[in-house]
């Protein structure tokens, strides 16, 4: 997401004017926030330039997330041209939109022109179409074409994440020509580790690492030292799949190509780290049914994000309640059933969540597929059986001793075995089924797994008890 060269960082923060904004726990220091708030209120631009403008963009992002909403825009406006727009790629979407929507398009266009293309796209994609076009119209032609091409690719694709600045040379150039080109050409990326080799139509032929360039004599031709590009990434590929390629093959950067195998950009490891973080964050939130919620969202947005899944949970809870209602007569005759039945359902729900979490993560990382699914299903079934037997023995003894009725202990033990087996199977089969149907198992599995374990637990325990005791 963010690529900043060393020289630029050193220029922003001289060594003799280092500013430490974090405490020992890694949080922004409260005393610094107090001083910052006072400087914003007093419009103390000198303090802001000396203590904020020189910070790294990630540190400015942390400050923006820590201060009050009304202070954010004031800080950006007071810094003016000294504000590093790259910092907006380090905050959540709500804060970014809140700030960008209040800035004039002329200021955004001027700042966008100084950013790497991947950072520029990250900011532009959140804007309304009209504002986006107005900003793009103010950029130089070449840069405008690059950004529009990246914005044309699907959201969350490698094409959206790529950096369109790269170094590419023809195969007949010598190493000396290539070195001279890199020294003399001003319009090069801030940092790069590969030089790509292309033909006249920009079709990707190969790549040369910079260390190979440095170790080779000047008269050698590039085509003699180039290698086939390691795993070029289609621009339409989902960013999560691209990140998995980086992880699998230990890549630092990779060429991004269009449908005609022409080089259109480069994906770098810093972008991929951001993708991995985003995808993991997204999966965790979806498992909890909170969608794309951000910490900076207001009350109404948060309620809107959570309401749907809570409503679905209400429906599944009513289904579980209807199962209990089938045995209301049994519960009235034996109050112990009402005391113990939540234990069976709760144990099943927790066991199902364990299996579901492992399954959803394995699906996300492509570690679980059709070739090993059978073995994993058998393993989880075995875990369910063994855990069911262990907890059946433990809970049976506790329940029998508690209510002085060891037949009741045997009943709840049998129900525990049934429910933990059902939980294990539901925890793996439901995510697999949802994934096969094209649904996101992270966002849908928890509701269905909980429903299965609740209904199975209640029905097994109350049904066996009704049959056993004849009530």
Residue 16 Cα distances to 32, 60, 302, 371, angstroms = 19, 19, 44, 58
- Read off the DSSP letter of residue 229: -
Tell me what pLDDT residue 74 has. Answer: 94
CA 12 to CA 131: how far, in whole Å? Answer: 30
Q: For residues 19 and 13, is the Cβ–Cβ distance under 8 A?
A: yes
How high is the pLDDT of residue 291?
65
Distance CA 55, CA 22 (A): 12
What's the CA gap between 56 and 11, in Å, rounded? Answer: 11
C-alpha span between 233 and 110 (Å, rounded):
31
Residue 299 is predicted with a pLDDT of: 83
Write the CA distances from 431 to 264, 349, 364, 420, 444, integer angstroms: 36, 15, 11, 17, 8
Angle, CA of 363, 297 and 243, to the nearest 5°: 30
Mean pLDDT (10-residue bins), the chain, 471 residues: 39 52 90 94 94 92 92 93 91 89 90 89 90 92 91 92 93 96 87 92 93 94 89 92 89 92 92 85 72 73 79 86 90 89 92 90 81 90 95 94 92 95 93 85 78 93 92 76
What domains sit in the chain, N to C, each tagged with a CATH number? 6-160 (1.25.60.10), 168-268 (3.10.580.10), 299-469 (1.10.357.20)
Exposure class string for 50-85: b at 16+ Cβ within 10 A, else e: ebbbbbbbebbbbbbbbbeeebbbebbebbeeebbb
Give the span between the Cα atoms of 106 and 425, in whole angstroms: 58
Q: Has this prediction a pTM greater than 0.85?
A: no
Residue 98: CB atoms within 10 Å: 16
Q: How far is the C-alpha of 88 from the C-alpha of 115, rounded, in Å? A: 11
Q: Which pLDDT score is estimated for 233?
A: 94
The total number of residues written for the chain in this structure? 471
């Amino acid at each position: 997401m963010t690529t900043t060269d060393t020289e630029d960082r050193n220029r922003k923060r001289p060594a003799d004017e280092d500013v430490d904004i974090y405490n020992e726990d890694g949080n922004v220091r409260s005393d610094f926030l107090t001083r910052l708030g006072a400087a914003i209120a007093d419009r103390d631009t000198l303090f802001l330039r000396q203590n904020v403008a020189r910070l790294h963009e990630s540190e400015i992002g942390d400050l923006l997330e820590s201060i009050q909403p009304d202070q954010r825009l004031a800080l950006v406006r007071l810094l003016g041209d000294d504000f590093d727009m790259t910092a907006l790629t380090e905050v959540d979407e709500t804060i970014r939109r809140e700030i960008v929507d209040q800035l004039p398009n002329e200021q955004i266009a001027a700042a966008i022109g100084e950013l790497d293309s991947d950072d520029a796209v990250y900011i532009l994609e959140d804007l309304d179409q009209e504002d986006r076009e107005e900003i793009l119209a103010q950029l130089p032609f070449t840069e405008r074409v690059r950004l529009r091409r990246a914005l044309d690719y699907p959201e969350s694709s490698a094409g959206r994440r790529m950096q369109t600045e790269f170094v590419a040379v023809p195969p007949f150039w010598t190493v000396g020509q290539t070195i001279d080109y890199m020294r003399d050409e001003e319009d090069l990326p801030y940092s790069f580790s590969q030089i790509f080799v292309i033909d006249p139509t920009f079709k990707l032929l190969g790549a040369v690492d910079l260390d190979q360039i440095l170790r080779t004599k000047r008269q050698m031709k590039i085509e003699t030292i180039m290698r086939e590009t390691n795993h070029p990434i289609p621009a339409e590929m989902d960013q999560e799949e691209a990140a998995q390629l980086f992880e699998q093959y230990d890549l630092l950067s990779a060429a991004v190509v269009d449908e005609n195998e022409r080089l259109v950009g480069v994906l770098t490891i810093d972008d991929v780290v951001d993708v991995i973080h985003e995808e993991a964050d997204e999966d965790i939130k979806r498992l909890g049914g909170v969608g794309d919620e951000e910490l900076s969202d207001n009350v109404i947005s948060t309620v809107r994000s959570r309401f749907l899944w809570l409503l679905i949970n209400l429906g599944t809870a009513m289904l579980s309640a209807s199962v209990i209602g089938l045995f209301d007569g049994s519960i009235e005759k034996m109050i112990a059933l009402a005391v113990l039945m939540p234990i069976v359902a709760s144990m099943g729900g927790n066991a199902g969540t364990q299996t579901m979490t492992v399954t959803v993560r394995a699906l996300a990382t492509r570690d679980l597929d059709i070739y090993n699914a059978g073995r994993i299903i058998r393993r989880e079934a075995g875990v369910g059986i063994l855990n069911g037997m262990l907890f059946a023995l433990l809970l049976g003894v506790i329940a029998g001793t508690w209510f002085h009725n060891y037949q009741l202990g045997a009943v709840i033990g049998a129900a525990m075995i049934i429910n933990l087996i059902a939980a294990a199977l539901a925890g793996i089969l439901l995510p697999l089924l949802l994934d096969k149907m094209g649904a996101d198992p992270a966002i849908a599995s928890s509701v269905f797994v909980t429903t299965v374990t609740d209904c199975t637990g209640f029905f097994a325990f109350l049904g066996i008890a009704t049959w056993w005791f004849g009530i």
